[in-house]
Amino acid sequence: MDNRPIGVFDSGLGGLTAVRRLHEAMPSENIIYFGDTGRVPYGTRSPETIIRYARQDVSFLRTFELKAIVIACGTVSSVALDTLAAESDIPVIGVVWPACAQALRETRNHRVGVIGTSSTIRSGAYERMLLTARPELRVFTRACPLFVPMVENGRVQRGDVVIETLVREYLSELKGEGIDTLILGCTHYPLLRGVIASYMGDSVRLVDSGAAAADAARAMLIPAGRGRGRTRYFVSDDPASFRQLAGLFLNEQITHPAELIEISAYGA
């Protein structure tokens, strides 16, 4: 038994899709969540800035005695996982490999699509991982730069012309390539599952990268003892507005208020 909490972070709210899966699959775990809501989004920033911000995020989480860190952010996992893991003496779990492993298990026709932020797609991280594991795979990628602002504005419903138009614009090429598996390479995207699934059709399986990372954590970490674990939420901007939107991602209300921290004061 290992009752130390798991640290989870994201640029903002997206990582809560991983927290939700951790709650479901490992209800006894204590979780420390940090959402960098004062500097969201990460996916349009440069690799240098993403690494700097991610190091501060990890530094803050390491003020707690953790058993592992889950990078519940597609952008940080794609751009900074190697750096962060090399600097850490506890396991650091990103979303890229767990999502790729699930896609490799699920695809039948060996044609896999990957969508993510601009920085994620530019990094080539998913593509490289998939092709290293299975060189004969065909991988098709596409950056979807407006999905995060859409999700953060709650524009996720089918029937909304704006999101439906963007989904068609971003995904039509992948659809035309006949993929049977699509990795949602950003932890915000599961909130668009309905509209994406409706456009891509039943023949395409969607891989939720945040949930895949949570499953990887479950497979690898020594679990906590019995009893219901507690989650503490920290943010770098207004806790009240975090709480409002968090319900969308967690599909349940946060009972304890989130706590505000000054993230740029942490780390090097």
- Residues making contact with its own copies (CB under 8 A): 37-39, 44-46, 48-49, 145-146, 149-150, 152-153, 155, 161-162, 165-166, 169, 236-238, 241, 264
For residue 236, the minimal CB distance to its own copies (Å) is: 8
Catalytic residue among 54, 84, 183, 186: 186
Q: Which CB, 169 or 252, lies closer to its own copies? A: 169
Q: Which CB, 163 or 174, lies closer to its own copies? A: 163
Question: What residues are paired with 112 via a beta bridge?
Answer: 139, 181
Q: Which CB, 169 or 177, lies closer to its own copies? A: 169
Q: Judge whether 144 counts as a catalytic residue.
A: no
For residue 208, the minimal CB distance to its own copies (Å) is: 23
- The secondary structure of 99-122 as a DSSP string is HHHHHHHH-SSSEEEEEE-HHHHH
CA dihedral for 197, 181, 112, 84, sign (positive or negative)? positive
Give the residue among 56, 119, 126, 124 at the shortest CA–CA distance from 87: 56
Strand residues in 107-167 grouped as ranges (E): 111-116, 138-143
For residue 117, the minimal CB distance to its own copies (Å) is: 12
Catalytic residue among 70, 73, 182, 216: 73
Return d(Cα 137, Cα 107) in angstroms, integer. 10
Return d(Cα 139, Cα 207) in angstroms, integer. 14
Q: Judge whether 73 counts as a catalytic residue.
A: yes
For residue 140, the minimal CB distance to its own copies (Å) is: 21
Which residues have a catalytic role annotated?
Answer: 73, 186
